[in-house]
Structure 1
Amino acid sequence: MSERPRLSVIGTGYLGATHAVCMVELGYEVIGLDVDHAKIDALRAGQIPFFEPGLPELLAKHMDSGKLRFTTDYAEVAEFADVHFVCVGTPQKQGQYAADLTYVEAAFTSLAQHLTRRALVVGKSTVPAGTAARMAQLLADVSPNKDVELAWNPEFLREGFAVEDTLRPDRLVFGVHSEWAEQTIRSAFAPVIENGCPVIVTDYATAELVKVAANSFLATKISFINAMAEVCEATGADVTQLADAIGHDARIGRRFLNAGLGFGGGCLPKDIRAFIARAGELGVDQAVSFLRDVDEINLRRRARTVELGLDLNDGSYRGTKVAVLGAAFKPNSDDVRDSPALDVAASIARRGAEVYLYDPEANANAAKRHPELTYVNTLDEAVSGADLVMLLTEWNEFRQMDPEFIGSKVNKRNIVDGRNVLDPVQWRGAGWVYRSLGRP
């Protein structure tokens, strides 16, 4: 396909809304679809229903251009677009490790019914291996036009950097089964490819595995340094210095070797669990059995953080005011899915603490999940009169706190640095009892 195709994006959650807006920025005409009328109404009004730096500005820029619109009508999408990106969620099944593919199957089925001309349907959702082959068969069975084809194009967005990752990705992976499909999806990413982005062209199964393999590797690296933090606590070693030392080895690298409260969010935890479940179905569960340890190490960090707070509160949270700094699973995000910070906050509240929680962006989302906590709108409100401060999400506002100023607000100068981002010497020098994960 020599001319730029017109694009649709099915699903306007975090991935879909970001992809739709950024593809217009790259010069394409795009229509976004969601079955949630509230999401579509918000996007039409120029409102992004989640926090992502830079995205609201791009949406505002392009809503008036005529190149971006949103709908709830599959027929409108099928008539408009040449390439359809499916970006719906694959959450963890309730009470199971496996991924819930309900939304993927519904999106493919609903779209396929309206595809009366040749088109390429591109899966971007993170799915278990084998899903793409099933979706290709579904398209063949349901689509009125039998020339409709499938490609798989995994996403690698980092929350907080999603605009940059879409406009200037570090690689593109295309799982295709024909020359036409490859050329068509290349035309849908032409500006990115022309900018020098590496392209890996492969089969469906490999394209599916790339995302879960990458997330599993990152989760393993994070849990490895957190396992070392446990050893450091037993030996009196300093895990931050250990990470610096081994990170100079080019085979290892320093990135993702930050010991602390561990990973969370809507991707890593559920993706590694879905990988474990799918490996079991395929009869290769032993090959990824280490991922269960990765998951368990990660969850242990949350319990250990609660214990550190207990140590500073003479063994009990009851009757104490605790300032919790952070609810999002990472900074520059309002995502509280499987958030270690929010999990710890809820845990200490159950133990009798009066929790005052402040997050620059995630208070509203956190309150929907844990309304029993007290949410405040400023750092000052959170720490005033606190018996214990717990830094659980490493927003810059918290990294840059002045220990003397914060000390003037609290009742007791006790702090748990759950992310190892503060200078222990500076804080202890200001009279604080400072505790962290993996440091003496």
Structure 2
Amino acid sequence: MALLTASSLAAGGLKETVVKGGSRSLRQVNGWRIALEGETWLTLEDAEDPILRGEIDFRSPDAWVSFPALRPSEVNERFLRFLKVRGVAAKVGENVRLAPHVGGTLVIPHGPDYPALQTYERMSFGGGARSFKVHAYHRAKELGKDDDRIMSFVLKKGYMATLAENGDGSGASQVFIARDADLRVSKLPNELVGKVSFVRVFPWNWTAKKGFGGKLTTAEKLGAHWKYDWSANGESTLDMEFVPMRHNKSWDSFSKINAKQNVTHLLGFNEPMQKDQGNMTLEQCLDMWPKLQASGLRLGSPCPTDGKVDWLYEFIEKADERGLRVDFVAVHYYKANWSAEKLVGWLRAIHERTGRPIWLTEFNNGASWTKNHNPSPKENAKRIEEYCEAMEKADFIERYAVFNLGDKAHHRQVIIDGMPTPAGESYREVVSTEAYLGE
């Protein structure tokens, strides 16, 4: 939409126009009152002042606005005042969502009561229908007459839904994601047809790959788009998606994990083969896994050390035999001075063996325990940059998170005393791409 055509002149000297349907782009809104109707996608391209003077009114739940150059917190602070939903001032958590969209923001005119999922009692969207809102747990009791009767559904764009056979989320289950269009499933997978006793719906975020394990302030300084902290203590912010973890057999609590909102993923046990970490047997991990499924979140495997990928393979094989849902595999990497090509090749082999996308939740260019390898700060910065650029190009790698190794003598820290090192600066400057691209 290079030009707008005014249909009238509004109060305050604003020119008025209605945009209905399609995808349009503007560098900047200045002097316009724009009403968005129907299924419309409006992109505001200016990185400094995409709205100088004017107003955008969302008149349809399917009309969205993209700020590709601004993070959600900046849109909230500077530009939300220019937005309305059917004439009412836009307010996050009441009538709009501000969703991370890679390095930018999507403004979605949905409140917490938006019916993100509609299920049907018959295939091909026939019979009785029921709507579901986000976050709430719908087990057999809450489903009532719809228990074991769902046959088809429509999931609205921008949402994730988990359907499971048993009321505790166990048994056959599947995560469905409507990433770029409404997802219309005219017939459930055979293992779920007429057997659904668990439904939970989540707002989806178009999060970028680059993350960090540790403090929020550090993650922000490193330009991360998501973070985790080996527990369930964190919270998502407008700009940063938090990923909780069940670290070991007793911590963090399932009640805390299951109460989390504005999260979409859950990481499994951390290095369970290590006594000072998860300290669990493979059988203990498998036996406890259905309790992770109770969250309805998209689940990452227990994360092995880089020398124990055979443990991971055995876990995946036995999880598949038991019908457990494991949506992606998480691994760690501290090989010394491997090339980026060798790293990606190693990860590709894990992906092909497990049949799942990869999260590299800890990595660096070697570690204090790797022998005969002590890179200079400049060398480490270059290698970290090469690793990230290679992982950004690999579509089977969904996410990665550098680890801030606390060994100053070996130059592998990415941040010291609150300031990024050369490696941290390299990490911060990586332009990250969208993590999840579909199954």
TM-score by length of 2: 0.25
More helix by share: 1
Q: Which has the higher contact order (CA 8 A, sep 6+)?
A: 1
More strand by share: 2
